[in-house]
Structure 1
Amino acid sequence: MFLKKVTLLKEKIPIFNDYPFSIPSIASLNEMKLESNVTFFVGENGSGKSTLLEAIADKCGFNTAGGGRNNSYDVYETNSELSEYIRLSWMPKITNGFFLRSESFYHFATHIDKVDDNGFKDYGGKSLLKQSHGESFMSLFINRFNGEAIYLLDEPEAALSPARQLALLKVIHDLETQGDAQFIIATHSPILLGYPEAEIYSFDHGQIAKIDYEDTDHYSITKYFLENRKRFLYELFKEE
């Protein structure tokens, strides 16, 4: 592991009523210790997991619209409002890595199309814009992810089928078991969350706290639905 701890610098915060400190989980953060090569952020939409992940990416010097330190392009409203209020503790500090932001991946792919002069070697030899959404994600993971690096992924499952999510787990396993890579992933996927020995931080209930895989809503709701589909849908659709 490289990134060991994320600390919220509360003494620098002028007011807690404004975004992003109006998000309960962010306001309650003191420090988060990272003790696994693979860490997941989970929580409902708006719970703050992507906000913190984006701030970490900004602090790493990655493009907050998606990319690494050398991917310079502009996308409207991608600056992190939290990054100046957090401190990252490293051992050792690294500068190599990538921030995947699913919602703005098209802008990253367009940027690569404009600047790549190496035959898209880092992306499977083909323009990301000429691959399907899922194929382009996997081309990035397989070809660009390597070496000592930290990878920050915001909902990578957005473009991936269940089979491709399993393929991503294999990529993560191959990189982190070599001791060369660290992953922090914000996700809603019960498949990705099943990665062995990963840490899971929940952003629900107004705080950030470690949680076991089986205690996540993602696992329990999916399991109940698969085992009780007809009853689940009956209860969901019945009139009051």
Structure 2
Amino acid sequence: MLCRIGAFLRALAGEVSRGPLMVLAGMLVLVGLSEPALAVVKDPALCFGDAKVAADRRIAACSVIAEDVTGASSLRAKAYFFRAMALDDNQDWDGAIADYGEVIALDPKQTSAYFNRGTDWSNKGDDDRAISDFNIVISLEPSASDAYSSRGSAFLRKGKVDAAILDFQQAIEADPQNGRAHAELGSALAVTGEQEKAIAAYDEAIRIDPTDVTALINRGIAHAAKGGFDRAIADYDTALGIDPR
């Protein structure tokens, strides 16, 4: 699963104080009454706070804020976004997609919502809708390296190898340290039979992340395809040392 925070949270920095990644705020509590209804004291820490909060608790806390139609649009959008990420933690792709749609309805220029929704369409195997969302991210943020690499992966799954290669190259141009883009470029080049170029791309991915088991295995496959069996075995041994499974 891809990174799911990014520009949306940066855009909300003025709302409340925040930690290194998560937007922070106060506590949310439900106060029981003698009446049949519950009075809600809104304090959004369970929604926006500690990443260790259980997904179900976060979903409940965010629901109170997101579904309050009297609340500020920016606060409701933020609550839908955090609830969607909690739904992602539960692998409820449909629920998360719906919530990212609510974020977009409230603020159509939140690139992270489009990116995350595109990722969830990919999780559901709907690459056409994923590509559509990644297109919007790129139109709003032309330097979004992760959006290019994610769209490239969707193109590659659809067999559109040339489009995938172009996207991986653009991802690398936007962020040369995007290891996933280098690794996926290697996979796309391997499909075309350009094993030397594929190996060079895997080399760069492994330089960026020496524990990238998938890149190690794929580089081993590319070496084997060229008859370099000793190098292939060395890559497989390294991969096994990182993950014996």
Global fold match (TM > 0.5): no
Q: Which of structures 1 and 2 has the bigger CA Rg?
A: 2
The structure whose residues are more often strand, as a share, is: 1
By relative contact order (CA 8 Å, sep 6+), the higher-ranking structure is 1
